Structure formats: C-alpha cells, structure tokens
Amino acid sequence: MQEEEKFAGGTSALHGHGDFRIMISVKDLVKVFAGARGEVRALRGVSFDVAKGELFTLLGPSGCGKTTTLRCIAGLEQPVAGEIVIDDRAVFSARGGAFVPPEERHIGMVFQSYAIWPHMTVFQNVAYPLAGSASRAEIRERVGSILDRLSLGPLADRLAPNLSGGQQQRVALARALVAQPRVLLLDEPLSNLDAKLREQMRFELKSLQESFGITAVYVTHDQEEALALSDRIAVMHDGALLEVGRPAELYARPAHRITADFLGAANFVPARAAADAGAAAELLVESALGRFVARRSAEWTGGEAALLFFRPENIELMDDRPTGGNGGNCAAAAVERVTFLGAAADVILRCGAIALRARIHPAQAPAAGRQVKFRVAPESCIVFPG
C-alpha cells in the first residue's frame, strides 16, 4: 500500500490495470551543460517514479529541464549523477558506471519536430524500427495494422514531406509504437499543431496510450494539455521537480506557488500571517482584501510575509445583502471590466490597488462599474510564502 500511496492517488490513477508496478524509476538525476557563460545546471537532482500503464507528464516553462529529463530517460543525454531504471533494468547508473545506449533501450519516442525522415515514405518510416527483427511479410502486416489504427493507411506510399503537420505527427506516433515498446516518450508532440487539431489529437493520444497499455512520459508546457491527459503531473522549475500529483489535486491544492501559478489562472494577494485559526491546516491572514482564512500550503514554513491564493472560478459573487461576514473571506470590489468568453465571463475586479480575475457564469456577470461583494470559500484559499 505504501508504494501505491506514494503515488498519491491509489489505484484509480492506474485505470484498472491489473498489477501495479513501477515501470520507470528516476533517482537524483543531475545534468550539467557547458553554456555560453560557464556551466548550466540543467537538472539538480530530479527523482520520480512512473507506474506501468500511466501517462506521466513533466510540466513546466521552457528551460525548466523537462525535455532534458526526457532525453535522459531516452538515453540521448547522459546525466552526471543519478540512476534510471526502466522495466527493472538499470539503463543508467552513475555509481555503477552503467549506461545503455538509446538504441538498446527499446523505448518509443515522438520528437517535437516529429523527425520524420524526408527521404523515405510513410511506410518506410514506420517500418524502420522493425528492420532486421521480423520477416518482410510480418513487417508489412504490423506496419499496415498500425497505419490503419492511426488512419494513415492510404498515405503509406507518400513521401514524408508531402504530409500535413497532423499526418506527420501520426506517422511519428506510429513509428514509435510499431515495435511495441514498453515505454513511450513524447516531447511536446502537439505544440506544432493548430488549436483544433491539438484538441483532437489529445484524445487520440490518450486513447491510444490506454488501449496499448503503454507507459508514457509526456513533456509539455501547456497546462491545459497536461491537465487533460495526465494520470499524474510532475511540475518542474529551474531544473528541479517541485511536486508530483494527480491533476485535480495539483490544480486545487498546489503545494508550491509556482505550481499554482502555472497550472491555471491565479489570483495572488499580498498578505500577512496572523494566527492559526482553528484547524491545524488553516491559517488566518490579513490581506489587502481583509481577513481571510486559508489553508496552509506545503511550502508554508511560517513567517509573516504571505501570499493569498485562490482561483478565479472560486470567486462567488454575493447578493447585495448587507449581511455581514459569514465566516469571513469576503471583500468588496469594483467591477473594472467584463469580457464575454462564451462559456463564461472573465471579470476583472478591482479592490484598491489589487486587480482580481474572476470567472463568472455569463448569466450572473455584473455590469462594469458596479460595486460588488464576493467571497471565496476557505477551502479554496491557500497561503504561500510571500
């Protein structure tokens, strides 16, 4: 149970796959690059485990080390310290002096640029990983079946550059999957597609991954994508792993301010910690909006300076009833701007010097210029160090 609990989510995260196993284990990876102005520490001791069958996402802004981590797993980069074990096989260990080259790791990889070979046809591209390991007939069959699975059948003889972006991406996927690897690595595979296609491919990818039962490590900087696809997300920042968790948890209860900021729209209000208010997890803060009760974040270590955080969709507009605080977490604000987004209204509330973003159902959107009162439930507020 401990192992599973470490995965912070129990079995539901594994979508009912029979046995629970750790497929990929990454420990204390350190990677250093020689940069233009001296050494760059790209990875500073990254550790995480990926369970069999899960879609594990590395999420973060560019330069955070997520692609480097992925490439270390692939074997395209060699860290200077740490250990990587894939499917019970140590493919890298600094201490033991082990390094398995990428061509021997039996991992499928989809590159950001797709890396489809322009001088080969779709068929040749996808058949490439099978070269030498199967008969002609078998190759034809396997390639044919995966091309069909990805709706690429009629394109089999077309030369790679004559495909659209979406088609190329699917070819890259087919190529990565045809040799039935245990692990699939994806480096921002959807970032070069247009928005509509991206959404489409998102679900396609997920369903493929599930039906093949393949363990996937996915790298992206797009939080929406990460939230939609992942079984678990690892948020990375500046070469370190900040936190790992299931999407819903990370979104609602981030342990770090950076996670909070990255995973969705966020409101941060400067505040001062007052006193412990009741339950151990809760804290009372004095903010520019007034007194708010909020949960402690894991990052919170005490001290005075604090940041109060809550998401736009958790701002509830109250009726203009002059009833006083019902447990605090209320404030008054002026409506500065209302932007109609279709499914919701994006409302900018101004509270003195502070601008807050709120997401309101269009039917309840106030008019610009009005004064409103709002509250945020304490469960939805989190305090981070300031």
Partner 1 sequence: MSVTPSAIAKPEIRWRPFARRLSARSLIFALTIAVVSYLVLVPLFMLLYASVKSTEDKLPFETTAMTLGNYAAVLTSPATLPIFLDTLIFTAGSLAIGLPLAILLAWLVERTAMPARSWIGSLILVPMTVPSLLSAIAWIQLLDPRNGWINILLRAVLHFSEDSGPLDVYTLSGMCFVQGLRLVPSAYLMIAASFRAMDPSLEEQSAMAGRNAAQTTLRITLPILRPALLAALIYFVIVVIESFDIPGLLGFTARIRVLSTAIYWATHSEVGLPDYGLASALGAIILGVALLLMWGYHRLTAHQERFATITGKGYRPRQIDLGRWKMAATAFCAAYIFIAVLLPFLMLLWTSVQPFYAPPSADSLARVTFDGYVKIWSDGSVARALRNTMILALAASVATLVLAILVSWFVVRRGRSGAAAAKYLATVSFLPQCVPSIVIGLAFIFVYVRFPLPIYGTLWIIALAMTTRYLAYGSRAATAALVQVHGELEEASQMAGAPWLRTLRRVTVPLLAPAMINVFLWVAVHAMQELSMALMLYNPDTVVVSTMIWSMWQNGRTADAAVLGVVLIALSALLLLGGQWVAYLRRTDG
Q: Which residues bind partner 1 (CB under 8 A)?
A: 1-4, 11, 20-22, 25, 34, 36, 74-76, 78, 85, 88-90, 93, 96-104, 106-109, 111-119, 128-129, 131, 133, 159-161, 165, 168, 172, 175-176, 179, 185, 192
Three-class secondary structure of residue 182 per DSSP: coil
Residue 269's H or E segment, with its range, is: strand 267-276
Closest to partner 1 by CB, 120 or 334: 120
Name the phi and psi angles at 11, rounded to 5.
Answer: -70, -25
Q: How far apart are CA 121 and CA 119, in angstroms?
A: 7
Closest to partner 1 by CB, 114 or 300: 114
Minimum distance, C-beta of residue 213 to partner 1, in the bound complex (Å): 16
Minimum distance, C-beta of residue 22 to partner 1, in the bound complex (Å): 6
CB atoms within 10 A of CB 170: 28
Minimum distance, C-beta of residue 203 to partner 1, in the bound complex (Å): 23
Closest to partner 1 by CB, 22 or 235: 22
Task: Return the structure tokens found at 311.
Answer: 């998401």
Closest to partner 1 by CB, 1 or 195: 1
Question: By the 8 A CB rule, do 335 and 358 touch?
Answer: no
Task: Return the structure tokens found at 232.
Answer: 């678990």
Closest to partner 1 by CB, 8 or 252: 8
Radius of gyration of the chain from Cα atoms? 24
Closest to partner 1 by CB, 75 or 328: 75
Three-class secondary structure of residue 126 per DSSP: helix
Q: How far apart are CA 349 and CA 335, in angstroms?
A: 5
Minimum distance, C-beta of residue 127 to partner 1, in the bound complex (Å): 10
Three-class secondary structure of residue 341 per DSSP: coil
Name the phi and psi angles at 112, rounded to 5.
Answer: -65, -35
